[in-house]
Amino acid sequence: MGHFIDGQWHEGFYVPDKEGRFVRTPTVYRSPLDKEALFKKRYLLYVSLACPWAHRTLIARALLGLKAQIEVAVVDWLMSDHSWAFNPERPGCTPEPLFGAHYLKEIYLKSNPNYTGRVTVPVCWDKEKATIVNNESREILRGLAKLATQRYDLAPSPEVDAIIDSLYETVNNGVYRAGFATSQAAYEEAVSSLFHALEHWESVLGKQPFLAGQAFSEADICFFTTLVRFDPVYFIHFKCSHRRILDYPNMWAYLRSIYQMTGVAETCNMDHIRHHYYESHRHINPYGIVARIPAAYLNSAHDRWERFPQAIFPA
Ligand SMILES: N[C@@H](CCC(=O)N[C@@H](CS)C(=O)NCC(=O)O)C(=O)O
């Protein structure tokens, strides 16, 4: 891991705040996605199959019928001192298709040789303008949802934004705040707000099929990509150990209901997910031992559609 300052690479992990809290750096590229660019197939998405933020964009691409429009380049699961790398030999990975780059950081420098910031995925690259358009998953997700013509409304109400906001700190970033805390107090703070939020959503999902009500939305995509990593990784590696998702009947069935929507399971690569976390974060898992995958099946039967016959979802 590392980051750029004025185009110079500096190795090292995130620096916590004074109280030992993990602090995520804001992303730099925030331009809106453009319809013409999308349908002229100018966008290339750089992703890691391990990353929950990048995973959001892959699910939107699949559910919105955009696979033919958007090419995807997949980095290796291992994050080294040079950050994300291309390793086409590894199953599930691709070569870097435009420049034959070895590292994703080369792409950031092609966009701006004096770039300051982290080298994160997802990245939405414009092939014609040879620049990064956006590297903030939530904005890429919204951009795709707004521009897709094979249309399913993934943001059907303003409530969706409020839910995504509330999920961010407690759940999506909450697991990282727990796992990367460098003091007991920072860990307790993160894990308490994480499980407080999970208890809340467990109760909501007992009454309705999706977070925002009857209709599947972007909020469900944002929740799903954390939930699917929870039992195999966050519960162990990030010490989010109060309960597994399997222990919450509504959330466990909800997780499986989304996993089983057409096109979603293919976006979930449990090898990339598990190997990335356990092998890349050696400061919290020094020997890189990868925990065995839980026995519970994501494709086991669930009763969500019988319980909620009014549920609206894309596939
Ligand atoms: N806010 C960003 C976060 C993206 C992010 O942090 N991705 C991680 C992978 S899970 C990453 O690339 N980290 C590399 C680093 O921070 O150096 C988003 O939602 O797109």
Could you read off the pLDDT of 84-103 as tens digits, one per residue? Answer: 999 999 999 999 999 999 99
220 lies in the same domain as 280: yes
134 lies in the same domain as 49: yes
> What gap in Å lies between CA 238 and CA 284, rounded to an integer?
9
Is 90 exceeded by the pLDDT of residue 105?
Answer: yes
CA of 104 to the centre of ligand 1 (A): 12
pTM over 0.95: yes
* Dihedral (CA of 252, 201, 305, 50) sign: negative
268 lies in the same domain as 289: yes
Per residue in 121-180, pLDDT tens? 999 999 999 999 999 999 999 999 999 877 788 987 889 999 999 999 999 999 999 999
Domain limits at 300? 159-307
Contact 246, 232 (CB under 8 A): no
CATH number for 47: 3.40.30.10
> What gap in Å lies between CA 244 and CA 195, rounded to an integer?
10
Lowest mean pLDDT among 55-64, 145-154, 198-207: 145-154
CATH number for 206: 1.20.1050.10
Ligand 1 site: residues with CB under 6 angstroms?
A: 1, 27, 48, 51, 53, 83, 118-122, 136-138
> DSSP character for 266?
G
With the most atoms of ligand 1 within 8 angstroms of its CB, the residue from 108, 121, 134, 221 to mutate is 121
Element (H, E) at 288: none
Torsion angles phi and psi, residue 2, rounded to 5: 175, -170
- Give the residue among 296, 230, 300, 229 at the shortest CA–CA distance from 267: 229
Check residue 239 and give left, alpha or beta (phi > 0: left; psi -120 to 50: alpha).
left
Element (H, E) at 291: none
Mean pLDDT of the chain: 96
